[in-house]
Amino acid sequence: MNISIVIHTSSGHTLKFAQAIREKLVSLGHEVDLTGLRTLGTVNAGLLPLARVNFTIKNPPELQDFDVVLIGGPVWGFKASPVIMRYLIEDVQNLKGKRALSFVTMGGAGGGRALRMMNGELEAAGAEVLEGEALKYFIKPNVLKLEAAVERICGQVCVA
């Protein structure tokens, strides 16, 4: 399978989670493209409404050539990252016939809400949305919880 993982990360936690997912999927024989969204402008206002956050995404990847799409980001203020939400709303248009899964990292609460926000946009784009994952990630992840989350994600993605 050809799989795209698109993430936003500010602390590097989501990147480490995404890299672990990528490594596992590659070890299972899949081709995996990992893209970190880059922005221009101010993105440190996670509690503001999306329209008031002043940034643009410099490298929005196209997803039409992928079988499965994974979207990941941090939880900011009990919501999905404004960068991920802007990407999903403005740049992800047609995922009909594709499976998609969202995942988030968080220091506290809000993972369920963030996943629902992301999943709503994935559904609106026509994707078959798989159950997402929220990983608590303080200074570093609990290795066993990280590995278990990666296994659950790969278990869903690798089902034909």
- The distance from CA 86 to its chain's CA centroid, rounded to whole angstroms, is 12
Burial 29-57 (b: 16+ CB within 10 A, else e): ebebebebbebeeebeebeeeeeebeeeb
Amino acid identity for residue 118 in this structure: M
Point out which residues pair with 141 in neighbouring strands: 137
pLDDT in tens, 117-136: 999 999 999 999 999 999 99
| Cβ contact 160:6 at 8 Å | no
pLDDT in tens, 69-112: 999 999 988 899 999 999 999 899 889 989 999 999 998 889 99
Q: Flag whether pLDDT at 13 surpasses 70.
A: yes
| Cβ contact 144:88 at 8 Å | no
Domains contained in the chain, CATH given: 2-157 (3.40.50.360)
Quote the CA–CA distance of 44 and 65 in Å, as a whole number: 32
Q: Give pLDDT, residue 44.
A: 63
| Cβ contact 46:75 at 8 Å | no
Alpha helices in 97-157 (DSSP H): 111-124, 143-157
pLDDT in tens, 24-55: 999 999 999 999 999 887 776 445 455 456 78
Quote the CA–CA distance of 50 and 125 in Å, as a whole number: 19
Cα-based torsion angle of the residue sequence 86, 35, 147, 25 in order, rounded to the nearest 10 degrees: 120
Amino acid identity for residue 95 in this structure: L
Strands 68-76, 79-80: parallel, antiparallel or unpaired by DSSP? antiparallel
Percent of the chain surpassing pLDDT 70: 93
